[in-house]
Amino acid sequence: MSRIGKRPVALPSGVTANVSGQTVEVKGPKGTRSFTATDDVTLKLEDGAISVTPRGLSKRARQQWGMSRSMVQNLVTGVSEGFKKELEIQGVGYRAQMQGNTLKLALGYSHDVNFEVPQGVTVTAPKQTEIVVEGIDQQQVGQVAANIREWRAPEPYKGKGIRYKGEFIFRKEGKKK
């Protein structure tokens, strides 16, 4: 039995859902999202909550059960609260600033890095050493944050680079004379 799949997904106030067949469409204050589940699970909307049940006892049905419930929960969280990833920049001269829809990064290269922000995601730079990525799609927010981090991942000797807020970087000792 899936401990995650058993619990129904409660709909907070201001969020409405529509279940038609295998598709769930959720509308909230931040936008609209939808998810189409596989044929291995059944989706039901009852008492202001969406419940997911497997259609059989096969291994695939049990796998899809918890995953489908998590996907529906992410839809509800996205349209009600949204998702957020915070990045920190460490290093002398490393900076970030927004110019329109472009994030300009000075990361020690001979040129500035221009990162075009995709549609559906909001990127802000409240300080020169902080970047905040927000949106209603958890996967897209995480992917944009990973793409930004990829430009200069933190290195283990001095810790310079772009890291997630609160991320621990294992530090190495430099060579001795």
Stretch 54-79: mean pLDDT: 93
**Predicted confidence band of residue 25 (pLDDT cuts 50, 70, 90):** very high
Domains, the chain, in order of start with CATH, read 3-80 (3.90.930.12), 83-164 (3.90.930.12)
120: phi then psi, degrees, rounded to nearest 5: 95, -5
Burial class (CB in 10 A: 0-12, 13-18, 19+), 154: buried
Using the predicted structure, report yes or no on whether residue 1 has a pLDDT greater than 80: no
pLDDT at 145 over 80: yes
Q: Are 159 and 169 in contact (CB under 8 A)?
A: yes
At 127 the pLDDT is 94
Asked whether the beta carbons of 134 and 120 are under 8 A apart, the reply is: no
Planar angle of CA 3, 58, 47, nearest 5 degrees: 45
Q: What is the pLDDT of residue 29?
A: 94
In this structure, what token pair is assigned to residue 46?
């009852």
- 31: its two tokens: 């936008």
pLDDT attached to residue 81? 93
pTM over 0.85: yes
DSSP state of 173: P
**Does residue 60 surpass a pLDDT of 90?**
yes
Give the strands of the sheet with 16-20, arranged side by side: 16-20, 23-28, 31-36
Q: Which whole number is the average pLDDT over 15-36?
A: 93
Confidence category of residue 176, pLDDT binned at 50, 70, 90 = confident
Instruction: Kindly tell me if the per-residue pLDDT of 2 is higher than 90.
Output: no
CA–CA distance, 84 with 5 (Å, rounded to integer): 25
